[in-house]
Structure 1
């Protein structure tokens, strides 16, 4: 599962010669946050600001996004939450600088970051949806995941056990193919990323100091 990541940087955007992103987005994303999604329209590659966590057309509110930020590729067609987007081929990518996973030491999780060794952005396979809740148009997306029990790097993350998951990484050379895909059968894209092109390390969350009246007493 991936619930936290850093979107691509301006340098990564420019290095890949992607279109400019016409909106602001946070430097770190969690479920419910806005993020930049790259997809293909008849006019070419385009960006959309979407919420992290897919909101299906039948949803009554956006709270479902806290449970739908990842989607198992094995069950996409069986889940009402994702079926409509899958059958309409709403494929996109969420480009990230690095994504975070939990690695356990003595039963305690540490936040580890996964990134490309060459410093380029990672294209994570995504499904996106557009719906209307009341008068609000809601654009949202989910990251598609795969089994990672045999992946040399990703099998080391998550709680101890035999369930290991990884986001699906779209190789740069297959970006156009993925964004143009017109079939609900995405098995040809379900493969673990090459471990030798990626690296990971411990990335603790930044501590936020609380400001209290006592701390400010001598100012």
Structure 2
């Protein structure tokens, strides 16, 4: 499961791929649980027919979903990934799932541990064509005395049979992968109703990802 990723740093690249301005305070670009980073959602007002409201909006939030009932933010250290098989029933995630609080997490690359040599080797995974990746997630808002704090989590699925993602995690552990959305399904995911959410929980094609030494340096992705 993904606990470490690189956010999309270049503003123009972010806009070109995701069709929205990044937030004024995008947060960290080397992201771990508890760090602030950007996510993209669909404003609720967009469904009311107001042409002044954009279809997509980028916000800054904490990586690790903080449910509205939490008493503090510590829970976010354990809620950075949500298993699609249990997301509808887990107290930490079920409200966001049942209310279709869908989001997209903009990612340049993410990291998983390769255990094939007997110890964990952090391995960078990125798009084969050098474009950013949009990972399906859920978002939430948490109110405190200091104001409203947004947060988000990445959705994950079983990775059995996936030629690339099957390399990662300990041999005795279940193979998992984040849900990477095809570019042409971004709006469909953001608009999807709760009963449609599971339709997007699919493995991303092996041939469209590169890992480790096969991944070009990040700077070579920037035109």
TM-score of the pair, normalised by structure 1: 0.88
Deviates more, 1:52-61 or 1:19-28: 19-28
More strand by share: 1
| C-alpha deviation, 1:202, in angstroms | 5.3
1:153 pairs with 2:154: no
Alignment coverage as a number of residue pairs: 203
For the pair shown, the structure with the greater C-alpha radius of gyration is 1
> Whole-Å Cα distance in 2 between the matches of residues 99 and 16 of structure 1?
17
Q: Deviation per CA, 1:75-134, whole angstroms, max 9, x where unpaired?
A: 111111111111111000101000000001432100101101111110100000002133
Give the equivalent residue in structure 2 for 1:217.
none
Deviation at 1:19, TM superposition (A): 2.0
Return the TM-score normalized by structure 2: 0.86
| 1:7 counterpart residue number | 7
> Is the 8 Å Cα contact of residues 7 and 35 (structure 1) preserved in structure 2?
yes
Q: Does structure 1 residue 138 correspond to structure 2 residue 138?
A: no
Rounded to whole Å, the distance in 2 between the matches of 1:157 and 1:119 is: 21
Unpaired runs of at least 5, structure 1: 204-219
Q: Deviations over 1:2-48 (max 9, x none)?
A: 00000113253143262221223212000000010011121221011
Distance 1:95 1:35, change over 3 A: same
Q: Give the superposed CA RMSD.
A: 1.6
Aligned residue number for residue 27 of structure 2: 25
| Pair 1:110–1:202, CA change in 2 (3 A) | farther
- Change beyond 3 A, Cα 1:60–1:34: same
Q: Point out where structure 2 has 5 or more consecutive residues left out of the alignment.
A: 47-52, 215-223
